[in-house]
């Protein structure tokens, strides 16, 4: 399976361990590309982001519904192989769940889990969101089906952030 891997290399590599960023559901490597990867490269890190099969520019979009977490673990294995040395894995949301599965079989120099999916999954919160705000679920589905820019700000805020979070835009 051909995977998209976006990489930024520092002008002056001061950190020996590379970083591999692992996206959550409805995302791809693009979510890290504009700000995070360049920032990390400016601070001396070799920084990479992978798009799971069926996501971003990776192959398999036509079979997306048939892939599971174990397939995405294989994608991390492939990305780590291309990087050439064991990276610190940074997993967000569903990516955090994949990183946790990857850790069962692999030694890593470090791991960061950001708003990771818990081991018991998200089925309970999905049903709660569906009952409380079905438009949020519909907007999230549009994000995966079309383009990242189709997600509307208000439904995205309801889906992913606390209502107590201040709004600056």
Overall residue count recorded for the chain in this entry: 169
Residue 164 predicted with pLDDT over 90? no
Phi, psi dihedrals of residue 114, rounded to the nearest 5°: -115, 115
Residue 24 predicted with pLDDT over 90? yes
- Residue 25 CB neighbour total at 10 angstroms: 16
- The string of pLDDT tens digits covering residues 51-74 is 999 999 999 999 999 999 999 999
* 66 DSSP assignment: G
Q: Where are the domains of the chain?
A: 5-120, 122-162
- The string of pLDDT tens digits covering residues 119-138 is 677 777 777 777 887 776 67
Alpha carbon distances (Å) from 71 to 24, 39, 62, 68, 169: 14, 29, 15, 5, 38
More confident residue, 127 or 112: 112
CATH class of 5-120: alpha beta
Q: What is the mean pLDDT of residues 156-162?
A: 64
The predicted structure's pLDDT at residue 146? 57
């Amino acid at each position: 399976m051909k995977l998209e891997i976006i990489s930024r290399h520092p002008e002056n590599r001061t950190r020996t361990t590379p970083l591999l960023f692992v996206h959550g559901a409805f995302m791809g490597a693009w979510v890290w590309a504009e700000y995070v990867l360049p920032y990390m490269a400016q601070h001396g890190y070799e920084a990479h982001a992978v798009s799971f099969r069926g996501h971003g520019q990776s192959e398999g979009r036509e079979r997306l519904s048939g892939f599971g977490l174990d397939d995405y673990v294989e994608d991390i294995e492939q990305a780590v192989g291309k990087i050439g040395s064991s990276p610190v894995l940074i997993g967000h949301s569903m990516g955090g769940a994949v990183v946790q599965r990857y850790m069962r079989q692999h030694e890593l120099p470090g791991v960061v889990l950001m708003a990771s999916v818990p081991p018991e999954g998200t089925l309970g919160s999905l049903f709660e969101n569906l009952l409380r705000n079905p438009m949020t679920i519909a907007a999230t589905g549009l994000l995966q089906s079309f383009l990242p820019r189709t997600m509307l700000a208000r439904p995205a805020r309801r889906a992913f952030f606390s209502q107590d979070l201040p709004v600056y835009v």
